[in-house]
């Protein structure tokens, strides 16, 4: 039987779900950029790509060389194809304008070019997360600068979301709003091949992911919930839980998509002005769309993440996502 490559899957989506040709092309180009990033990541010390730059990004984080390279790879791959009205990235303060010599298109692309980059130098999985929105009507035709406002749409408006994970295998996990598919990079063929046809998150789980070192800074509902998890069989939840924390959201979410679990990055008292560490637009929203499309749930402790109206491009948000039963439980603790 012939194998289903990403290209073939996308063409089938056009037939079965009217996926527009320009969206198909956009996803193909993002996937091509992810292949190039995968290649750069895998060279490691041999490619001289490890280590930090002397710069910080807009959020005051030290940039790794590979953060900057990955950002450039994504920008260069996507700027000329005529599918985009603009881009935004964790590594750039403002929206990226499509250079004047290239045609503009109907979509907005947002990404975290290399998530989990604190893990690069220690050879642990990292990834690229992306989200695609339709550009509101007025920015499609205008020649003016594209403002931040065009991007500030709730996650329910995403038309595609995905991530690439650069681990023992490079995989692309994608949703176009009708289920979640996983593609593994066949390095000999140079193509992403469909290997995980219908990814589902089990509703129940006995595994959780949280950075326990922040425990003393958490709010009461999270403290209560994690205490109950740790109490195991003798506690109110009546079963023993296992814990994993990779500190790469892509790797933690990928594990949850594979065998279930709950991922938490709550708001905490370290920086009271910030509602969490992770970014809404290019981390929480795309991951929440994928998790929901796989049958899981995602909230900020109070509301569904995909319903939140963003206020700023680099806005942060608390994240609870994964197996439905556990996400509903911890969300319930915030509400009571
Ligand atoms: P980054 O985008 O700067 O890499 O930060 C996001 C990462 C996530 O991948 C991960 O879940 C989290 O930061 C880990 O944070 P911590 O180091 O506080 O455990
Ligand atoms: Mg990130």
Which CATH number is correct for 207-335, 3.40.190.80, 3.30.470.30, 3.40.640.10, 3.40.50.2300? 3.40.190.80
Sheet holding 319-322, edge to edge: 242-243, 207-209, 262-265, 319-322, 297-299
Alpha carbon of 278 to ligand 1 centroid (Å):
7
Q: Which atom of ligand 1 has the smallest separation from the CA of 245?
A: 19
Average pLDDT over residues 175-192: 96
By mean pLDDT, which of 55-69, 76-90, 287-301 is the weakest?
55-69
Q: Which ligand is nearest to the CA of 61?
A: 1
From 297, 318, 326, 335, select the one nearest 225 (Cα to Cα): 326
Alpha carbon of 18 to ligand 1 centroid (Å):
36
Buried b or exposed e, range 153-166, using 16+ CB within 10 angstroms: bbbeebbbbbbbbb
**Residue 316 CB neighbours (<10 A):** 20
Q: Which atom of ligand 1 has the smallest separation from the CA of 59?
A: 3
The domain limits of the chain are 6-196, 207-335
Q: Which ligand is nearest to the CA of 57?
A: 1
Most confident of 98-102, 215-219, 272-276: 215-219
C-beta 207 within 6 A of ligand 1: no
From 155, 140, 129, 147, select the one nearest 254 (Cα to Cα): 129
Average pLDDT over residues 99-128: 93
State what percent of residues in the chain have pLDDT above 70.
94
How does pLDDT run across 168-183, given as a tens digit for each residue? Answer: 999 999 999 999 999 9
C-beta 128 within 6 A of ligand 1: no
Alpha carbon 112 to its chain centroid, in Å, reads 7
Is pTM, for the whole model, over 0.85?
Answer: yes
Alpha carbon of 147 to ligand 1 centroid (Å):
27
From 272, 207, 289, 263, select the one nearest 240 (Cα to Cα): 207
Segment (H or E) for 52: strand 52-56
Q: Is 238 helix (H, G, I), strand (E, B) or coil?
A: coil
Alpha carbon of 211 to ligand 1 centroid (Å):
10
Q: Which atom of ligand 1 has the smallest separation from the CA of 112?
A: 2
Between CA 318 and CA 336 the distance in angstroms is 18
Q: What is the pLDDT of residue 44?
A: 84
Task: Identify the residue whose C-alpha is closest to ligand 1 atom 11.
Answer: 249
C-beta 307 within 6 A of ligand 1: no
For domain 6-196, give the fold: Fructose-1,6-Bisphosphatase; Chain A, domain 1 (3.30.540)
Most confident of 133-142, 143-152, 214-223: 214-223
State what percent of residues in the chain have pLDDT above 90.
83
Between CA 29 and CA 78 the distance in angstroms is 6
Q: Which ligand is nearest to the CA of 129?
A: 2
CA distances 331 to 30, 203, 209, 242, 300, Å, are 34, 15, 16, 20, 8
Q: Which atom of ligand 1 has the smallest separation from the CA of 251?
A: 9
Q: What is the pLDDT of residue 140?
A: 62
Supply angle C-alpha 248, 252, 257, rounded to 5: 145
Pocket test for ligand 1, best of 124, 265, 314 (most atoms within 8 A of CB): 265
60 falls in which pLDDT band (50, 70, 90)?
low
Between CA 206 and CA 201 the distance in angstroms is 13
Q: What is the pLDDT of residue 249?
A: 98
């Amino acid at each position: 039987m012939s194998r289903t490559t990403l290209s073939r899957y996308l063409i089938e989506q056009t037939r079965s779900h009217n996926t527009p040709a320009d969206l198909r092309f956009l996803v193909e180009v993002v996937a091509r950029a992810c292949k190039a990033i995968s290649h750069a990541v895998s060279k490691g010390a041999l490619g001289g790509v490890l280590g930090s730059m002397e710069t910080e990004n807009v959020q005051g984080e030290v940039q790794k060389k590979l953060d900057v390279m990955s950002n450039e790879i994504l920008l260069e791959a996507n700027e000329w194809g005529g599918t985009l009205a603009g881009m935004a990235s964790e590594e750039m303060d403002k929206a990226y304008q499509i250079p004047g010599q290239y045609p503009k298109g109907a979509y907005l692309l947002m990404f975290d070019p290399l998530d989990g980059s604190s893990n690069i130098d220690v050879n642990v999985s990292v990834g690229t997360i992306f989200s695609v929105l339709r550009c509101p009507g007025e920015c499609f035709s205008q020649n003016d600068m594209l403002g931040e406002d065009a991007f500030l749409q709730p996650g329910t408006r995403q038309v595609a979301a995905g991530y690439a994970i650069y681990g023992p295998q490079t995989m692309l996990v994608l949703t176009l709003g009708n289920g979640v598919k996983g593609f593994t990079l066949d390095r000999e063929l140079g193509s992403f091949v469909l290997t995980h046809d219908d990814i589902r998150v089990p509703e129940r789980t006995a595994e959780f992911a949280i950075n326990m070192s922040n425990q003393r800074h958490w709010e009461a509902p999270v403290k209560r919930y994690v205490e109950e998890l740790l109490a195991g069989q003798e506690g109110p939840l009546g079963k023993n839980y296992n814990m994993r924390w990779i500190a790469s959201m892509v790797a933690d979410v990928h594990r949850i998509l594979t065998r279930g679990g709950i991922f938490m990055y709550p708001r905490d008292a370290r920086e009271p002005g910030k509602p969490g560490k992770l970014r809404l637009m290019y981390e929480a929203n795309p991951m929440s769309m994928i998790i929901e499309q796989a049958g899981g749930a995602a909230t900020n402790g109070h509301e569904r993440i995909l319903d939140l109206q963003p206020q700023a491009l680099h806005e942060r948000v608390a994240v609870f996502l994964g197996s439905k039963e556990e996400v509903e439980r911890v969300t319930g603790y915030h509400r009571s």
